Amino acid sequence: MSKPIVAVVGRPNVGKSTLFNHLAGQQISIVKDTPGVTRDRIYAEVSWLDKNFTLIDTGGIEPETKDIILAQMREQAQIAIDTADVIIFITDVRQGLVDADAKVADMLRRSHKPVVLVVNKVDNFEKLMPDVYEFYNLGIGDPIPISAVGKLGIGEMLDEIVKHFPEDTQEDGEDDRPKIAIVGKPNVGKSSIINKMVGEQRVIVSDIAGTTRDAIDTPVVYNGREYVFIDTAGLRRKSKIKEELERYSIIRTVAAVERADVVILVIDATEGVTEQDAKIAGIAHERGKGMIIAVNKWDAIEKNDKTIYEHTQKIKDTLSFMPYAELLFVSAKTGQRLNKIYDMIDMVIESQTMRIPTGVLNEILTEAVAMQQPPSDKGKRLRIYYMTQVAVKPPTFVMFVNDKELTHFSYTRYIENKIREAFGFRGTALRFINRERK
Ligand code: GDP
Ligand code: GDP
């Protein structure tokens, strides 16, 4: 089941980052420490009561003039409308209600998305409450007073947010159509690939603002099987503000990947694999999604008999954290190998949902342990009593061990490799959980 997405929208200086950092707590998104690109946090995982959600900060660059502020806020709001299940609209009691707030509120109201109106910097509820009532004029519901700095009203705000989450519906669980997100940097050819793969079907897609996310999804029938391409409208909409492009592409990626079973990462063959590709791949890896890498524009490069090998090596090096990713060299322009993507999606889905019986799994484990001893520390050796698969999508294994302290990343990797040798699991991440058994 995919996690709900909550997006934060508001003018500069109302306290978006302060609130975001408080809610995000210690969780650090992979974006943060990646050099060269956006340094601030863009998304974070948040838990409140028994609910988990992905929080997205749509705010970006510092604006220079009033005009830019409004244009930027509209972009932010649009991104939130496209991607979020719930939108937090933050205003500032100190600055009061300003014209830009009213304009953005109109936009949000028309979208029919659930909006939680938050009035920040209410550091003293008794004294400042009268100033909060003014925000009723926005016409998007009851203003919720908070102080992001003073950590006041945060619980009430979170209660209001989670109220709007879609119920865990049965329907969602019964929908077994593979959901596919096509992601990648701008201009690598995502839209071109979608266009070719979806063909005529795409005309059906509605582009009216405020249509629900399901309406944006594009179902496609191929070889008698139905596939759903996620969020293609979001892909088509391009930011007018250049600096925002990268932030928005990451936000869209997180939103699309969250709902996908299989992610197709498109890389531009003429440019080669880059750090930014790795960052985007990381979003899918963190979430345990199926992974296909489509190296596009294969028509546009000069090739000899080593070209495929060289590209493969470079990609394996740069994306070394996901050796399981499937690779395909394609061209949206000529259509070369695009149809193979469907077969690959089927194969990856099969891997993601494969269950290995405990008995067979432990034969592999016993053999692996016999071939290479588990690590030891201060005279005490790791013992793995047995393992069992506890989940699919991604396949997740629990290993029962004598002492968790003795487990080591490289040994887990070794076991993972043995499991992959035996069962394949091509195109999907695997998860391992160590549990102590005394
Ligand atoms: P953003 O531009 O919307 O991300 O706003 P920031 O989070 O950077 O906050 C802008 C300024 O408002 C900073 O100086 C914050 O310390 C301050 N600020 C944020 N929240 C509060 C609050 O609850 N009360 C007060 N008094 N100041 C706040
Ligand atoms: P997106 O931003 O990732 O959706 O990329 P687009 O689909 O808009 O493509 C960006 C540019 O690359 C366009 O000018 C396309 O015509 C071009 N392009 C896309 N796929 C291919 C391809 O397979 N071969 C070549 N030569 N050009 C391509």
Interface pTM (ipTM) of the complex?
0.77
* Residue 192 beta carbon below 6 angstroms from any ligand 1 atom: no
What CA–CA distance (Å, rounded) separates 195 from 399? 44
Cβ atoms of residues 264 and 194 within 8 Å: no
* Residue 296 beta carbon below 6 angstroms from any ligand 1 atom: no
**Whose atoms come closest to the Cα of 295: which ligand?**
2
The tokens for 431 are 């998860």
Q: Whose CA is nearest to atom 27 of ligand 1?
A: 121
Q: Whose CA is nearest to atom 10 of ligand 2?
A: 187
CA 105 – ligand 2 centroid, Å: 36
Q: Which atom of ligand 1 is nearest to the CA of 90?
A: 3
* Residue 300 beta carbon below 6 angstroms from any ligand 2 atom: yes
Q: Give backbone dihedrals phi and psi of 393, rounded to 5 degrees, phi first.
A: 50, 65
How much is the pTM?
0.75
What CA–CA distance (Å, rounded) separates 339 from 248? 29
pLDDT for res 239: 55
**Whose atoms come closest to the Cα of 252: which ligand?**
2
> How far is CA 139 from each of CA 86, 93, 109, 114, rounded to the nearest angstrom?
17, 16, 8, 13
pLDDT for res 129: 92
* Residue 192 beta carbon below 6 angstroms from any ligand 2 atom: yes
pLDDT for res 216: 64
266: left (phi over 0), alpha (psi -120 to 50) or beta: beta
* Residue 228 beta carbon below 6 angstroms from any ligand 2 atom: no
**Whose atoms come closest to the Cα of 16: which ligand?**
1
CA 188 – ligand 1 centroid, Å: 37
Q: Whose CA is nearest to atom 17 of ligand 1?
A: 15
Long-range pairs for 376-380: beta carbons < 8 A, 24 or more residues apart: 376/406, 377/405, 377/406, 380/406
Which residues in the chain land under pLDDT 50? 26-39, 61, 169-172, 200-215
CA 13 – ligand 1 centroid, Å: 6
Residue from 179, 425, 426, 186 nearest 296 by CA = 186
CA dihedral 72, 78, 80, 85 (to 10 degrees): 170
Q: Which atom of ligand 1 is nearest to the CA of 150?
A: 23
CA 93 – ligand 1 centroid, Å: 11
* Residue 403 beta carbon below 6 angstroms from any ligand 1 atom: no
Whole-number CA gyration radius for the chain: 24
Q: Give backbone dihedrals phi and psi of 291, rounded to 5 degrees, phi first.
A: -135, 120
* Residue 149 beta carbon below 6 angstroms from any ligand 1 atom: yes
Give the mutation target among 18, 73, 131, 144 for probing the ligand 1 site: most ligand atoms within 8 A of CB.
18
pLDDT for res 1: 58
Q: Whose CA is nearest to atom 15 of ligand 1?
A: 15
Q: Which atom of ligand 1 is nearest to the CA of 123?
A: 24
**Which residue bears the tokens 């201009």?**
187
Burial of residue 53 (number of CB atoms within 10 Å: 0-12, 13-18, 19+): buried
CA 105 – ligand 1 centroid, Å: 20
pLDDT for res 348: 97
Residues 112, 179, 173, 287, CA torsion sign: negative
pLDDT for res 429: 92
Q: Angle at the Cα of 423 (from 422 to 426), degrees rounded to 5?
A: 125
Residue from 62, 26, 23, 29 nearest 43 by CA = 29
**Whose atoms come closest to the Cα of 232: which ligand?**
2
pLDDT for res 33: 38
Q: Whose CA is nearest to atom 24 of ligand 2?
A: 297
The tokens for 29 are 């998104």
Give the mutation target among 13, 91, 127, 157 for probing the ligand 1 site: most ligand atoms within 8 A of CB.
13
* Residue 16 beta carbon below 6 angstroms from any ligand 1 atom: yes
DSSP 95: T
